[in-house]
Amino acid sequence: MKKIQMNFHRLSKGQKMIAQYIMENYDKAAFMTAAKLGEKVGVSESTVVRFANVLDFEGYPHMQKELQEMIRTRLTTVQRIEMSTDYSNEENVVKKVLKADIDNLRMTMESIDFKVFEEAVKAITEAKHIYIVAMRSSTTLADFLAFYLNLIRNNVYVTSRSVSDIFDILFRVNKDDLVIGIGFPRYSSKTIEALDYAKSQGAKVLAITDSLISPLVSHADFTLTAKSNMESFVDSLVAPLSLLNALIVAVGIKEKRKVSTTFGKLEDIWEKYKVYS
Amino acid sequence: MKKIQMNFHRLSKGQKMIAQYIMENYDKAAFMTAAKLGEKVGVSESTVVRFANVLDFEGYPHMQKELQEMIRTRLTTVQRIEMSTDYSNEENVVKKVLKADIDNLRMTMESIDFKVFEEAVKAITEAKHIYIVAMRSSTTLADFLAFYLNLIRNNVYVTSRSVSDIFDILFRVNKDDLVIGIGFPRYSSKTIEALDYAKSQGAKVLAITDSLISPLVSHADFTLTAKSNMESFVDSLVAPLSLLNALIVAVGIKEKRKVSTTFGKLEDIWEKYKVYS
Amino acid sequence: MKKIQMNFHRLSKGQKMIAQYIMENYDKAAFMTAAKLGEKVGVSESTVVRFANVLDFEGYPHMQKELQEMIRTRLTTVQRIEMSTDYSNEENVVKKVLKADIDNLRMTMESIDFKVFEEAVKAITEAKHIYIVAMRSSTTLADFLAFYLNLIRNNVYVTSRSVSDIFDILFRVNKDDLVIGIGFPRYSSKTIEALDYAKSQGAKVLAITDSLISPLVSHADFTLTAKSNMESFVDSLVAPLSLLNALIVAVGIKEKRKVSTTFGKLEDIWEKYKVYS
Amino acid sequence: MKKIQMNFHRLSKGQKMIAQYIMENYDKAAFMTAAKLGEKVGVSESTVVRFANVLDFEGYPHMQKELQEMIRTRLTTVQRIEMSTDYSNEENVVKKVLKADIDNLRMTMESIDFKVFEEAVKAITEAKHIYIVAMRSSTTLADFLAFYLNLIRNNVYVTSRSVSDIFDILFRVNKDDLVIGIGFPRYSSKTIEALDYAKSQGAKVLAITDSLISPLVSHADFTLTAKSNMESFVDSLVAPLSLLNALIVAVGIKEKRKVSTTFGKLEDIWEKYKVYS
């Protein structure tokens, strides 16, 4: 949609008609073939295809996919529940869900920006303090990341568990620090406020979210994305969790000695105080 | 090892020698070929292969794999860190970790017992109260499951976040209730104590763990497994999380009306109080 | 101030002049004698005294005290820190703070409305579910209350510890339930939103706050107050905590059998699993 | 009892008889007059009085009081519930509870060791990291203390809220750090294990507990006590909370500039993001 708006002045008259139609009926347009869409608008199929090219899509299917994606995130949760009727028995449910998560992982693997990943690892290693910010179901990701980063290095704070208001921890953030904001659709305004504040204080901000059009991105210095698609009222945090695994492993390798010291200590403690069975 | 002990009386003399050697040197035996192991013990390769069959393995490679698995879980975390040297650069790390998680998901999908899954869904739907018990990194799974189950039905309690001692919530559990214990290696003794207590009170117990030889299993009425393999100091909770997704989706379908009501209310609230951006 | 506004039409011309002055300069007026205030406004001292009487104060000192109270709660925390310079050494600090808390307890004891207290105890006993709502330092009061109520009865939920967004627990509240909102200056808008929602769903609302002019009061069916005065950046929760003690003891007496059962169970557990030294 | 054991060799024959009787029947002896106790044992009243003096009590009533105290902490919670029958109506309950808390505060004020208090303030100011450890209802005190210390200085960690196993945070403690252990009867073994570990790592340990015979004391470098008496199943944390107020105020005065900076920032944040009503 932004692309359409930004390129509107460059469009031919026929293309402008397509643009108009899509902006007003994107929920229908998203599921039409190029031919069908052309018919609706009153232009030829090839005009539709060129339209997609002008907007810098590799082809009509790519544009269509993005429209569908957009719809998905705009669907209310209630609508998504109505949609999820094709899980006819429980064997199918398990297979579909795990299959969807394998797809999420695969797409995440393909789209990961290794340069940004490397920067993120470096930032985690070098930051004086790390603040991890998340709300609602994403707090489980924040807690997982905090759990392991805390075993690797000190000064790791997670806002989700320890305080009722994020700012009671985050207020002290400054330019030597890293704030990791984790947010998946639907994006909590509290998380965005927190990143907004962090930036205003000069801190480095890493966003972990589902796409580059997430509202967290514009408050972040760099962004890692992982897919959270699930045709249900649940947002899958499986691929994001795997991405966190990768971050933790990579940081752990960089800080091998510290990790080794930590676990040396912990294993003494665990044995002495019988933490494990 | 149990299999060896249980079948020891049925073994031939040569097989007993193999058994003896394995029990004393399993860390070496796990990485020997059948021929090599035979040589060490002083028996023929085919005796070794028959030995594996007597113990009900499909073949020597299966026995070897189980020995390796056993070693892996017995390795201290420090040893595992020493091992994880093959992550030579960060691109590799990401790929290896996500690849390992895809494998975890695939193995989980193949090994899932749909009958047990169905029972679990039924139990979650029918229980008067649900208590979710976990410790350390597994608390993030518990919190995720609790977050969504709580949107579907009432009377869901998670011990991880709300109390410093599990029993301050769990003490009230009784035969109308379901306790979901989540535990991955290394298994926390606190979680096992909790399941032990739950069983003693007549509650139904569902274990979510990594294998059927996990210590949680013997305190549970039924068990769902998901792989958590990761050649690092991190235990991957990716496949377990996907399994929870499946559980939540399946329960959500059964309780479609309740989910719809919940999200109807929440979306009114979110709009009124601006929870989302 | 409300009193002035509500009674404005009943005032004489001289009294109206006093009213005007106070509303515009209450921070100064609060520290003037009746004579001085009269002089400022241009009326006699006795007009000022009668003015206090018309507003239903027992005398000028009572009106003055309320003005001062009002100022205190409007002071920013920074201003209060500037004020707290009279703690000259640490022995004095301890004595002053504990003395202030004894005063808080005494004032609380004198002002408690036993009829409301009785209603609160009844509501706690009869509610189907109890939700306890608080933010920031007041979460510690909420957790304390939840800890003990949970030992007395089931279905007690505290929003502070378990979720990042209150509504993820509170959404289900209905007319059979009791919501206990705990808030002391400065009053969190999140707590007030929560009480607002609870009322809209027909739930009974008990406010625990510092005075009857607290913003929680108008969203509550009944209110218990406890003083939180402390000449420092700390808000004392000592008298509120003692009030909670009283509530818990009173409910515990009503539900003696349940408490006895709970502790019977817990002491078995504690002994078996060695929770206590 | 320890006093008796330690002084046994110094006792006269008649005194030894008293000692013997008390050790075997302390629950009865605690409620006898000196005359009655003498009669039971078969010695004179004045022998009993001298006995108390030999054990360094200021008089028989002091010894008796300590015996009663000892009994109280040994009573199971169930027995204490049985005892609390004299709360005949709710007005009485409120008055008795608040009165008991005023007494707790007064006794605490009288018994506070200002030298230790001063040391505690100094240690809080100087420690590189502060870890606050508590379990069960005492976590509310820990959270309160952490909430305010975190506004004054950085590197404050509270084990109660953020992790399911204390050692996941505490493992890193060392000689530059301060560990504040908070524990009231009945004393959690987990808290004591934590202090034990902290001492073994050379950290400074401050115990906040109810008396100098609490099991926390022997693992601490210095101890502050506050009374928690309540004739009910509730342990009153009112006087301990007031003691924490005093600590926070005293530290706040020492770090006035930091507190001022913090609240300056927070008030900007609160205004910008509308945290308060």
pLDDT at A120: 97
Read off the amino acid at residue B23: M
Query: How large is the average pLDDT for residues B52-70?
Result: 83
Question: Strand, helix or coil at D258?
Answer: helix
Q: Which residue of D has its CA nearest to B165?
A: D136
Q: Which residue of B has its CA nearest to A77?
A: B263
Confidence label for A92 from pLDDT (cuts 50, 70 and 90): confident
CB B134 within 8 A of CB B169: no
- Which pairing describes strands A178-182 and A204-209: parallel, antiparallel, or unpaired? parallel
Confidence label for A73 from pLDDT (cuts 50, 70 and 90): low
pTM to 2 decimals?
0.78
Given a cut of 60, whether residue B82 has pLDDT beyond it is no
Return the residue matching tokens 């469009």.
A11
Which is more confidently placed, C9 or C74?
A: C9
- The span from the CA of D180 to the CA of D142, in Å, is 9
- The span from the CA of A151 to the CA of A134, in Å, is 20
ipTM confidence: 0.76
Taking the domains of chain D in order of start, what are their residue ranges?
Answer: 2-107, 109-272
Burial A196-216 (b: 16+ CB within 10 A, else e): bbbbeeebbbbbbbbbeebbb
> Which chain B residues touch C165 with a CB distance below 8 Å?
275
CB D245 within 8 A of CB D239: no
CB B1 within 8 A of CB B70: yes
CB B265 within 8 A of CB C173: no
> Which chains reach chain A with 3 or more Cβ–Cβ distances below 8 angstroms?
B, C, D
Which is more confidently placed, B246 or D71?
A: B246
Best C140, C164, C193 member to test A by mutation, with max A CBs in 10 Å, is: C164
Contacts of D44 (CB under 8 A, 6+ apart): D14, D38
Contacts of C5 (CB under 8 A, 6+ apart): none
Read off the amino acid at residue C234: V
Q: Which residue of A has its CA nearest to D144?
A: A163
Do B164 and D168 make contact, defined as CB atoms within 8 angstroms?
no
- For residue A200, give Cα distances in angstroms to C245, D180, D262: 44, 34, 16
Q: What is the pLDDT of residues C123-162, one digit of tens each?
A: 999 999 999 999 989 999 999 999 999 999 999 998 866 6
Q: What is the pLDDT of residues C251-274, one digit of tens each?
A: 998 998 888 889 889 888 888 887
Question: Strand, helix or coil at D133?
Answer: strand
Shortest alpha-carbon distance between residue D128 and chain C (Å): 22
Containing D117, the helix (H) or strand (E) segment is helix D114-126
Interface of A with B in 151-180 (CB under 8 A): 151, 161
Question: In the numeric block, which tokens belong to residue D213?
Answer: 């015979």
Helices (H), chain C: 2-7, 13-29, 34-41, 45-54, 60-74, 77-83, 90-111, 114-126, 139-152, 159-162, 167-170, 189-200, 238-254, 256-273
Weakest mean pLDDT among B123-137, C197-211, C223-237: C223-237
Q: What is the pLDDT of residues A15-54, one digit of tens each?
A: 888 887 887 677 678 878 888 899 888 889 888 988 888 8
pLDDT at D132: 96
Longest CA pairwise span in chain B (Å): 78
Q: Is A246 exposed, middle or buried (0-12, 13-18, 19+ CB in 10 A)?
A: buried
Best C273, C274, C277 member to test B by mutation, with max B CBs in 10 Å, is: C273
Return the residue matching tokens 């059962």.
C261
- The span from the CA of C57 to the CA of C49, in Å, is 10
C10 in contact with D, Cβ within 8 Å: no
> Which chain B residues touch A196 with a CB distance below 8 Å?
none
- The span from the CA of D218 to the CA of D260, in Å, is 37
Q: C2-107, what's its fold?
A: Arc Repressor Mutant, subunit A (1.10.10)
Weakest mean pLDDT among B46-60, B156-170, B241-255, C200-214: B156-170
Read off the amino acid at residue C5: Q
C191 in contact with A, Cβ within 8 Å: no
Q: C109-272, what's its fold?
A: Rossmann fold (3.40.50)
A128 in contact with D, Cβ within 8 Å: no
